[in-house]
Amino acid sequence: MENDYVDVKYLIDVNPDIAIDPLTKVFSRTAIMKIAEGHVNDKIPFTMMILDLDNFKQVNDSFGHLSGDFILESIGQALKKFCYIQTYVGRYGGDEFLLLMPNVTEYDDVHKHLESLYERNKIFRRYYNDGLRDIYCTATLGCASFPKDETSYEGVFNKADKALYRGKLKGRNCYIIYVESKHKDIVVHEKVEGSLINTFNSIKRLFDIDKGKKHIIKSTVDYIYSHLHCSRVYFLTDERTYITNYNDDEKMAVNYFEPHLEMILRGDTIFYETPLTKYKESDSKFRDWVNERGIQSVIIAKLKTYGRCYGYFIICENQITRIWQDNEIALVMYLATLLEMELMSHK
């Protein structure tokens, strides 16, 4: 068997033909689950990590399934190479991997291992070239430990899944170690009836009472900040001023910054990209601005109706290199459209 670092006693009941995932060449779902259950039965401490590639569907939809398969195979092999000996790697399904790290359960030790996985060895937050293009890959990971957090396979998996879910809520491209006091009340994939309706109703209420142009802009800025849980939100007005949720003495004028925003937008009305490397290289002013503030990810939305520009939203994340989701982009676009109409009525 190619993965000769595993103790074969955990695979006795697994058909050798299905023990290895044929695409990624790591353990199959059946095998990795049996390895985990074997550790539980033998009371061997371990940390379980559930790893989910971020926005993988977009790779398949944008570049085709062959590129998607290439990414899965490349990630699988990179994980296997990095984790050789100290960690078992399996493909749980689709774009999810399950990793088991025996005899490592203390928070600091787990954190050191994950930091190495993400930073020093750069399996994620990097480009993979499929022969035609560079594809940037990130992943979200949640983990929990046996028997520290739970004493059954199902219990450890559920708590690792809670940590994973928390990572997705934080903007993805991160790893979360389960901590009972912080994560016990998380309900994974909880369905909130009418949540979309509630979102649109809350947005509608922003525009129901006309308290003046500056008030509606500030209310929209605050709404984006609280709803997206981002670091900062700026609105650059057409009157050469800015409105933000962040109280600082920064001076940002549209007549200074607008040319750089237009260069990034390149004729579009919305920009979102991770990472920002190539845009920082193409515009020194933009590079200096994001570097000074430690910004990792941005959304830029231009408010433009009938050829007139009413301003720009700049939504910033400086905690992590955030992977913006479709619903987040759609929310910004919707708010920008409503604010365009509101500002046009004030003219």
What pLDDT tens digit does each residue of the chain (347 aa) get? 344 444 544 554 556 667 889 999 999 998 999 999 999 999 999 999 999 999 888 888 888 999 999 999 999 999 988 876 678 999 999 999 999 999 999 999 999 999 888 887 788 888 899 888 888 888 999 999 999 999 999 999 999 999 999 988 887 888 999 999 889 888 776 544 446 777 788 888 888 766 788 888 888 999 898 888 788 898 988 777 778 876 554 555 555 677 778 878 888 898 887 667 666 666 777 778 778 878 878 899 999 888 888 889 999 887 666 778 788 888 999 999 999 888 887 65
The CATH number assigned to the domain with range 195-346 reads 3.30.450.40
Whole-model pTM over 0.75: no
d(CA 95, CA 23): 12
d(CA 179, CA 276): 32
pLDDT of residue 12: 44
Q: What is the DSSP letter of 234?
A: E
Let me know: does 298 contact 276? Beta carbons within 8 Å: yes
pLDDT of residue 4: 42
User: For residue 44, which phi and psi values (nearest 5 degrees)?
Assistant: -95, 120
pLDDT of residue 81: 85
End-to-end CA distance of the chain: 72
Residue matched to tokens 């920008």: 336
Let me know: does 143 contact 49? Beta carbons within 8 Å: yes
pLDDT of residue 320: 65
Q: What is the DSSP letter of 7?
A: -
Helix (H, G, I), strand (E, B) or coil at 235: strand
* Polymer length in residues for the chain: 347
Question: Would strands 175-177 and 139-146 be described as parallel, antiparallel, or unpaired?
Answer: parallel
Q: What is the DSSP string of 71-90?
A: HHHHHHHHHHHHHTTT-EEE
The CATH number assigned to the domain with range 8-183 reads 3.30.70.270
Region for residue 25 given its phi and psi (left: phi exceeds 0; alpha: psi -120 to 50; beta: otherwise):
left
d(CA 291, CA 294): 5
d(CA 110, CA 132): 36
The Cα diameter of the chain in Å comes to 76
Alpha helices in the chain (DSSP H): 29-41, 56-63, 65-83, 107-115, 153-169, 180-183, 195-206, 213-228, 254-265, 277-282, 284-293, 326-346
Helix (H, G, I), strand (E, B) or coil at 66: helix
List of residues 6+ apart from 275 with CB closer than 8 A: 125, 136, 296, 297, 321
d(CA 246, CA 163): 29
- Cα dihedral 24, 162, 318, 111, rounded to 10, equals -70
Let me know: does 236 contact 311? Beta carbons within 8 Å: yes
**E-strand stretches of 21-67:** 46-53
Helix (H, G, I), strand (E, B) or coil at 3: coil
Q: How many CA atoms lie within 13 A of 157 on its CB side?
A: 11
d(CA 3, CA 17): 13
Alpha helices in 232-325 (DSSP H): 254-265, 277-282, 284-293
Can you give the residue ranges of every domain in the chain? 8-183, 195-346
